[in-house]
Amino acid sequence: MRREWRNFLGSLSYQKVFFHKKEFKKAHPEFAYLELPSILMKIGDKITVLITAQEINAMENVDDLIGLLGKKLSGV
């Protein structure tokens, strides 16, 4: 994990859980269709996709990803 990304995630006041692909698919079979890596958020009992793998792959650098996640979280 890149230092800038790790620092940004550490600055967020959200609980974070990281899954390996097989663990995620086993824990959340309802997201079997989802291409990984993706960023999801759980609010109450509902899990929603915040950032798709396509969006992540379109980022030119980690700063772009940080900006996108910050923007998405500000709308939550």
The pLDDT assigned to 76 comes to 80
What are 11-68's pLDDT values in tens digits? Answer: 999 999 999 999 999 999 999 999 999 999 999 999 999 999 999 999 999 999 999 9
The whole-angstrom separation of Cα 39 and Cα 49 is 6
- pTM for the complete prediction? 0.90
The conformation of residue 19, written as its DSSP 8-state character, comes to -
- Per-residue tokens: 57: 């792959």
